[in-house]
Structure 1
Amino acid sequence: MSPGRDAILEESEGVLISVFSKNIPYPPPEIILDDKLLQDDSKWRDLIQYTHLKEKPPSQNLLFIIRMESSDELVSEYLAALLNADEFSQRGLYISGLAIKNNPANYSAWYYRMECINQMKLSINEELGKQSSIHNLAIAFARRVTYESPKSYQVGFRINNKFI
């Protein structure tokens, strides 16, 4: 084994399976999800009816408060709104990607992402031959999340069951 490979294996301690390929780079290229679209209210106006963003309960009535970044809260609200609206679209892929990036163990985000891919008829087997940019993005995204959090059960489950 080369010294570079030893370092990679040591870094991946606890990971059960490591796959190396000449055709697939390791580590995978970083996926940068631009959150500018998240701040564009015109893209999300139709989802406001499904969110609780305007109805903040008084904090004294809560058992406890979960502190999170406002963008994380916005992603969570939009993900819930898209789920409630039964919308499976490009913006669903976008929001689920942000939600998974925030928390790779978020089962709902992975499930919703899989449903978006299925509803949009993005068949993995068909798309492999076409080298679709959406499919490549889905594969690259799952590989990068796996690289960044190799012990996440949700990531491994999705990849092992081809639910990218």
Structure 2
Amino acid sequence: MRTTHTVLESTVGPLTVVVTDGAVSGLYMREQRHRPAQETFGFPADDPDERPFAQVGEQLDAYFAGDLTEFDVPLALNGTPFQRRVWAALQKIPYGETVTYGELAREIGSPAASRAVGLANGKNPVSVIVPCHRVVGSNGDLTGYGGGIERKRYLLDFERKLRHGTAPALF
């Protein structure tokens, strides 16, 4: 197993992209709550312009330019079966929309597991690409986000404004 990483600049600050055997296994913001130890990111990439790093960079640039609403980079998500179910459900939330933790729990067939869904959501290893920012509290309030509530608010406002045809402000 070969794991490498690089750091890409983005609208929401530097993002560390981790690739394991050719697939994205991590995308972390600086000061992210559940960010793994740096040594788990492997070696710095020999060539950050090779695939899939270049592909991630291109798609993130397109997303933040408002030209991409769904990512299709290869992913290697490492987690429990329950976490992987939650992360798969996150990828089905439409761009610019939100769901509650309870709705997501029902979506994966575990209606009483909204708290566990929240924990799995918080451990999402590929932020932005797997859109955990699209999950809100039962009353619509913005609740925890590994990258910080300000980034969550920015990402949601960004998507909503683009979906409705208005230009977003910069983060």
- Bigger proportion of residues as helix: 1
Higher RCO (C-alpha under 8 Å, 6+ residues apart): 1
**Which structure is higher in strand share?**
2
Q: Which TM-score applies when normalising by structure 2? A: 0.27
Larger radius of gyration: 1
